[in-house]
Structure 1
Amino acid sequence: MGSYDDSTGKSKITEAKTRYTVLGSFFAIGLCLGVVISERIYVQKRSLIPKPRQLVSRIAESMHVGHRAAGPRNELEAYLMKIAPEKELLLAVANKNTMWDGMLDTFTKGIKRAKVSNHMVLALDVVTRDWCLENGINSWLMNLTISSAQKGTGDNHAVSAMKFGILKSFVELDYSILLSDVDIAIFKNPFEHLYRDSDVEGMTDGFDERTAYGSIEGFDDPSMGWGRYAQYYKHFNLNSGLFYIRANNRTLDLLDRLATRLAHEKYWDQTAYNEGIFFLSHGSYKSPQVSVRVMEIDTFMNSKRLFKDIRHRPKGQQPPLPVMVHVNYHPDKHERMKAVIEWYGGNEHALDAFPGGSEKGTRR
């Protein structure tokens, strides 16, 4: 029988163990590297996956491109493609009444001052359309008939009641609209100050943080004993004379409901507008479920905020130049509108003659 060298056997075993240990180490290192590399690739790919809003935006963009490729669907869209290629438009609805004291002229000078090229005055008569053409203002003539339900409400309210149907025709063409009344002084391009994260982004009738942005209020009914207290949320209505509305199915539903309602019911358009936005779904009723953002009160300012608060503050405590000031609270609209422009232009006494409210002697 051959002799067995024990030291040689141990040496071979040790060598094999060392080899397996080295191989195992390389395998473990390779596995770790593979995991790290795979993880990085996954993270990178995941970062490329668009968020829901980005995805919706990209789908919308592809739809818009498709529409452009197919050509305009009507004459209005052909015109819009020229004046508002980014599919956003500042729109004001006007008739010849707004020209009697020069208010339309003051309003459109603001458009030029702020360099808002993507604008349009939707003229309800030939006189207004011709005036716009003569003064270098984009315009479109749309002959509309006031519904029988709105007759007797006054010309301004009757026209306001029609604006939701007008807006619908633009939203159907995938245009997002910043609707503006003409009793508004424009100082900056509003499209540079919109958030665009909500379906409706509107100016409020609120004149401070609580009334504009909302507050939790208490209700007390002593007859309920330990359950006497309850709370509710309260804020002022959005103003239907200045708001940005994005083009999508929810806003189209909202506009369709409002246009239909006001064509058959004698009702204030602003009340209908807020009911359509804020009334909660209940029972068989489902709201349009539009998302809402309130415009900042010192950026898109109403006239109560300015005349009863801001103008009385020391200069160093006044907010910066606003984007737009809406003379919505006061009847002497054009006179105040012109004075507001002078005041922000440097004439610190331009507002002195005006009371805070509509009545003389009302400072605040």
Structure 2
Amino acid sequence: MMAKSPNGRGSQRTVWLVLLGGQALVAVAIVLLVRNRPGSSQVQPIDGLGGLAHDRDALLHEADMLQRRIHDWRRRATAADVHVDLDLGQDNAGAGSAGARFRGDLGDGTAASATVGSSNSLAVGGGGSASSGAEAGSSSGTCDPNGHPVTTVAPIDPQYLMRPAAEVEAENPEFAALLKKHSNDKQEIMLGLANAVMICQNATVCWWNGGNILESFLEILERSNISNHLIGVTDEETGGYLTERAHKKGPGAFAINWFTPNVKIPESQANTREANRVSSLKFSLLQTSLQLGYHTMITDMDLVYLSDPFDALKRDADIESSSDGFDAMAYGAMTSISDATMGWGGGGLYMQTFTINVGCAFIRATHRAFAVVKRAADELAAQPGWDQQVFNTHLLTQSHGPYASPYATLRVMDIDKFVNSKRFFRSNRAAYIPGADATAPVPVMVHFNYHPDKHARMVCIMDRYFRGKVDACDKFPGGSEPGTR
């Protein structure tokens, strides 16, 4: 039956609700909401606003109401087993916000969908603060199906929110242009840093037989066809090496995209290890790329990508990273303690997990991910530190007392796809070695974070998987000492 509108004509909107059914309700509802927004061709007041005010307070109030109504629709759709992919408010990095998408199946098995574009997520608040859709709202909330109130997390501290992309681009036009030119169609970029230590031809900076890690990494980029990359070069020797290399390769060769960062290493890291100085620079560049709206895969060069890592990403978390874990503890393992002096109350459970490795980490351009990066960068700028330890501290420490976590979501990459060298050569050795009898799948990446003979093991992986020498890694011991397994 067609419902009647106030002017006596049948309501086509009600007909569509009947035809599409409850599973498509959320799709139609969001379309109606957008059509009723001020400025649309069929403008009507939002319930409770009493008009189409354009002053700041009224618009903020309207945004709050819109968020609540979207939240309510999403809750009901989820309860009805309708898949809801709601980007609105989840990723407000500018170009990264595509809109809200709702998908459901009709009774006959066909798909019903609606897409509502959004140039940015809704923000509620004042004083320059902004919050994503997951953060907006108040403790009063709404009710979920079982009657319990739904509360929301407080907004991020404004000092850790990303600045407008246009403002950041105006301050970094060259870097912004490089990101735009070399990122893929999802605005994703691989970002690494290189210096003369990685070339290991200058005895002043490389006094051990470390091998030319940079050259191997460049071959890896070409072999795996990772064209959406940028390499920041930190010294003239490395820049000269890349320039001469490109000249020798000729114009038809795989292009290596490199630049010289216009960023200073913090004074706090001046007298620390070279790796720490490079890492502090990495976080400075990462802050800029995220604020410009580019989802960034930070990479070290002592690793081998055997295929394009972007093809293996899940993209369902703020941060998706490889792990230093080499067993189930990479994902988190429950364990216990027992204190006999406490009698029957002496037991306790706790969770153990390995730190993630920021030598291969995909960081999405969201406020939550940025907050972790900025906190780590601020700490490294203020005092010496190991970037991995500092980053993990801010990512994994839970809120307590006056400390508020950034609440960034984390996905740990599959440890048999994004493999560290201890997993490959030691803890799961039987699945990889000997190569002729390997049962493990071909990795996406192998990272030599556990072994000092990095380059030699890099070459064996390249020989095995790129050149078909299946026994190339069989001679290497499991640990760093001969004879270890």
The one-letter code matched in structure 2 to 1:354 is F
Deviations 1:18-37 (Å, cap 9, x if unpaired)?
xxxxxxxxxxxxxxxx9997
Distance 1:349 1:315, change over 3 A: closer
CA distance in structure 2 between the partners assigned to 1:244 and 1:156 by the alignment:
20
Q: Work out whether residues 218 and 230 of structure 1, in 8 Å CA contact, stay in contact via their aligned partners in 2.
A: yes
SS in 2 for 1:355: coil
Residue matched to 1:116: 226
Residue matched to 1:53: 86
Matches within 5 A, 1:1-364: 38-41=17-20, 43=22, 44-47=24-27, 49=30, 51=84, 53-55=86-88, 56=90, 60-61=97-98, 63=119, 73=170, 74-86=173-185, 87-100=187-200, 101-133=211-243, 134-135=245-246, 136-208=255-327, 210-308=328-426, 309=429, 310-312=431-433, 315=436, 318-344=439-465, 345-363=467-485
Q: Work out whether residues 204 and 302 of structure 1, in 8 Å CA contact, stay in contact via their aligned partners in 2.
A: yes
Moved more, 129-138 or 99-108: 129-138
Distance 1:72 1:153, change over 3 A: closer
Q: CA deviation at 1:287?
A: 1.2
Q: CA deviation at 1:59?
A: 7.2
Q: Structure 2 regions of 5+ residues with no counterpart? A: 1-12, 31-73, 75-83, 99-117, 121-163, 201-210, 247-254
Distance 1:279 1:69, change over 3 A: closer
Query: Which is richer in helix?
Result: 1
SS in 1 for 2:86: helix
SS in 2 for 1:233: strand
CA distance in structure 2 between the partners assigned to 1:172 and 1:68 by the alignment:
6
Q: CA deviation at 1:69?
A: 10
- Identity value in percent: 35
Residue matched to 1:13: none
SS in 1 for 2:87: helix
SS in 2 for 1:223: helix
Moved more, 273-282 or 79-88: 79-88
Aligned residues: 327
Q: Work out whether residues 125 and 143 of structure 1, in 8 Å CA contact, stay in contact via their aligned partners in 2.
A: no
Deviations 1:94-136 (Å, cap 9, x if unpaired)?
1122122321111111111111111111111233234435433
SS in 2 for 1:342: helix
Q: CA deviation at 1:352?
A: 2.9
Deviations 1:258-304 (Å, cap 9, x if unpaired)?
11101122221111111111000111110111000000011111011
* Larger-Rg structure: 1
SS in 2 for 1:60: coil
Deviations 1:47-76 (Å, cap 9, x if unpaired)?
465836333469713548xx9999964121
CA distance in structure 1 between the partners assigned to 2:355 and 2:212 by the alignment:
29
Distance 1:335 1:313, change over 3 A: closer
CA RMSD of aligned residues (A): 2.7
Q: What TM-score do you get using the length of structure 1 for normalisation?
A: 0.82
CA distance in structure 2 between the partners assigned to 1:294 and 1:265 by the alignment:
28
Distance 1:256 1:361, change over 3 A: same
Q: Work out whether residues 321 and 356 of structure 2, in 8 Å CA contact, stay in contact via their aligned partners in 1.
A: yes
The one-letter code matched in structure 1 to 2:460 is A
Q: CA deviation at 1:153?
A: 2.6
The one-letter code matched in structure 2 to 1:242 is C
Q: CA deviation at 1:39?
A: 3.3
Distance 1:296 1:217, change over 3 A: same
The one-letter code matched in structure 2 to 1:238 is I
Q: What TM-score do you get using the length of structure 2 for normalisation?
A: 0.62
CA distance in structure 2 between the partners assigned to 1:353 and 1:314 by the alignment:
10
CA distance in structure 2 between the partners assigned to 1:331 and 1:37 by the alignment:
65
Q: Structure 1 regions of 5+ residues with no counterpart? A: 1-33
Q: Work out whether residues 302 and 325 of structure 1, in 8 Å CA contact, stay in contact via their aligned partners in 2.
A: yes
CA distance in structure 2 between the partners assigned to 1:40 and 1:319 by the alignment:
50
The one-letter code matched in structure 2 to 1:251 is A
